[in-house]
Amino acid sequence: MTVKLYNTLTKQKEDFTPLNGSEVRIYSCGPTVYSYAHIGNFRTYVFMDNLRRVLEYNGYTLKHVMNITDVGHLESDGDEGEDKMEKAAKKENKSPYEIAKFYTDAFFADMKKLNIEMPEIIAKATEHIPDMLEFAKKIVKNGYGYETSSAIYFDVSKLDKYPVLSNRNIDDQIAGARVDVDPEKRNPYDFAIWIKAPKNHIMKWDSPWGESYPGWHLECSAMSRKYLGEVFDIHTGGVDHIPTHHENEIAQSKGAFGKIPAKIWMHVEFLQVNGGKMSKSLGNVYTISQLEEKGIEALAYKLFCYTAHYRTKLNFTFEGAHSSQKALNRLRENYLKHKEGKEEIDDDIIDEYKKRFLEAVNDDLNMPLAMGIVWEIARNEKKSYKIANLLLEFDKVLGLELINSEEYLKKQNNVDVPEEILKLLEQRKQARLEKDWALSDKLRDEIKVKGYIVKDTKDGMTVEKI
């Protein structure tokens, strides 16, 4: 069955065929590691995970690159403001490299909690300076770059067409607002590919233009080209990347190699909060850890993301996230019931579900529709291990770790259990290991007096409030 993907470049859903046999080459714009990634950012990475998993489900192999931006991303996506890394370093009184390491580790820890498959290649900007410099030189050599007192700019007027990805009217406004920022710019839309470092800038490298550092857009162009070649299959990011970052990546690749670097450009709509923008200044930015503090697992947030198609806005509320947590627990319970089920289910019925699920995910990753099918089978009156197996197969795309349902449910049951009871449970576990049944019974009674009942199952102990 064909995978259909929406392409921002052509503004239509297209039948997907890789450029190179069964291998799909993907580049995803990764995080700028100057602070914790928020759940809005993670909506984009949950989408990235879905895309990977759907392609793998269809039998493709992947060569997927994601960058880590640890230099060159200025405060605005254009050319204004300070480097985000340097600003954070000053604020936290650390070096930009320490900041990058800390937030990169935090990002990977959250990715793991979300069970997001890691791209085959993780490319840090600071480890690719020579590739970037080569790319910038090529742009200048081909006549698309020019030097000013502050930067090397890309001259968009030299291109046959600009912009190609975004809406020109919007771009006019953005660029117009910036015209007076650098009077040395030849055209309002010109953007910096290489930036001359101010004296106090820590991250800088030698270049034909003195001590300087790469522009954010150039980083992605150089790293995608290095690992995936001049033209690859899919480029992903959030919708905010359409008018500037991706538009400028296209410009750079055309300037250096005369080609648009990716065939399909995919963009995720924003996660909003209370119907508005999620932003640090409004104080409505949440992290995965903050959700966990409120009893919402990272995987429940992933399930929450499946309530809307990736190309529509999704409004975050804690109420919605709590509902997703409950739904995830129900899905796990249903899976476990089916796992033990002995009732007969016709293979034709299973095949029909498989077909419908595949149709849904292959239709530009229609996760809400796919989840509807998942719920239909999970709630089936007949309890059958065949349904449990089917849920596990679908979980290759969902990535909800249904195989570990039992462990997750146990952890969930323990969420509200006081520390004191958990300690007694631990002592009882030890007593049972040592076959001290008298102590085990005594501890059980003690726990009961405190309002909790212990149940011994074949997989260990669970506890419930009386």
Cα distances (angstroms) measured from residue 173 to each of 188, 270, 276, 367: 10, 21, 22, 35
C-beta of 241 vs 254, nearer to ligand AMP: 241
Instruction: Please name the amino acid found at residue 291.
Output: L
Does position 29 bind Zn ion by CB under 5 A?
yes
Cα distances (angstroms) measured from residue 326 to each of 66, 304, 331, 416, 463: 32, 11, 9, 15, 19
The secondary element (H helix, E strand) that includes residue 5 is: strand 4-7
Q: Is 23 helix (H, G, I), strand (E, B) or coil?
A: strand
**Residue 220 binds which one of ligand AMP, Zn ion, none, with CB within 5 to 8 A depending on kind?**
Zn ion
- In whole angstroms, the minimum distance from the beta carbon of 384 to ligand AMP comes to 38
Q: Which residue has the tokens 């954070």?
A: 88
**Residue 111 binds which one of ligand AMP, Zn ion, none, with CB within 5 to 8 A depending on kind?**
none
What is the Cα–Cα distance from 264 to 235, expressed in whole angstroms? 6
Does position 447 bind Zn ion by CB under 5 A?
no
- In the DSSP assignment, the letter for residue 464 is E
- In whole angstroms, the minimum distance from the beta carbon of 29 to Zn ion comes to 3
Residue span binding Zn ion (CB under 5 A) among the ranges 132-140, 214-222, 293-301, 311-319: 214-222
- Cα four-point dihedral sign 420, 422, 423, 428: positive
**Residue 268 binds which one of Zn ion, ligand AMP, none, with CB within 5 to 8 A depending on kind?**
ligand AMP
What is the Cα–Cα distance from 256 to 219, expressed in whole angstroms? 14
Residue span binding Zn ion (CB under 5 A) among the ranges 116-124, 161-169, 212-220, 302-310: 212-220
C-beta of 107 vs 394, nearer to Zn ion: 107
Rule CB under 6 A: which of 40-59 touch ligand AMP? 40-41, 43-44
C-beta of 228 vs 271, nearer to ligand AMP: 271
User: Which string of x and - marks every residue 205-244 that binds ligand AMP (by CB under 6 A)?
Assistant: --------------------------------xx-xx---
**What residues have CB less than 8 Å from 220, skipping those under 6 apart?**
27, 29, 67, 245, 249
C-beta of 300 vs 431, nearer to ligand AMP: 300
What is the Cα–Cα distance from 381 to 206, expressed in whole angstroms? 68
Q: CB–CB of 145/153 below 8 Å?
A: yes
**Residue 440 binds which one of ligand AMP, Zn ion, none, with CB within 5 to 8 A depending on kind?**
none
**What residues have CB less than 8 Å from 39, skipping those under 6 apart?**
271, 278, 286, 287, 288, 291, 301, 316
C-beta of 111 vs 345, nearer to ligand AMP: 111
Does position 397 bind Zn ion by CB under 5 A?
no
C-beta of 238 vs 255, nearer to ligand AMP: 238
Does position 270 bind ligand AMP by CB under 6 A?
yes
C-beta of 298 vs 443, nearer to ligand AMP: 298
What is the CB-side half-sphere exposure of residue 352 using CA atoms within 13 A? 7
Does position 254 bind ligand AMP by CB under 6 A?
no
- In whole angstroms, the minimum distance from the beta carbon of 85 to ligand AMP comes to 11
Does position 29 bind ligand AMP by CB under 6 A?
yes
Per DSSP, the residues of 129-184 read HHHHHHHHHHHHHTT-EEE-SSEEEE-GGGSSSS-SSS-HHHHHHHHHHHTTT-TT
What is the Cα–Cα distance from 113 to 49, expressed in whole angstroms? 13
C-beta of 268 vs 367, nearer to ligand AMP: 268
Residue span binding Zn ion (CB under 5 A) among the ranges 177-185, 187-195, 202-210, 219-227: 219-227
What count of residues does the chain have?
466
Residue span binding Zn ion (CB under 5 A) among the ranges 28-36, 51-59, 155-163, 175-183: 28-36
- Paired tokens of 329: 């627990």
Q: Which one of 3, 228, 268, 360 is in contact with ligand AMP (CB under 6 A)?
A: 268
C-beta of 27 vs 306, nearer to Zn ion: 27
- In whole angstroms, the minimum distance from the beta carbon of 220 to Zn ion comes to 3
User: Which string of x and - marks every residue 277-306 that binds ligand AMP (by CB under 6 A)?
Assistant: -x----------------------------
* Closest among 290, 354, 344 to 316, alpha carbons compared: 290
Binding site for ligand AMP (CB under 6 A): 29, 31-32, 40-41, 43-44, 237-238, 240-241, 268, 270-271, 278
Binding site for Zn ion (CB under 5 A): 29, 220
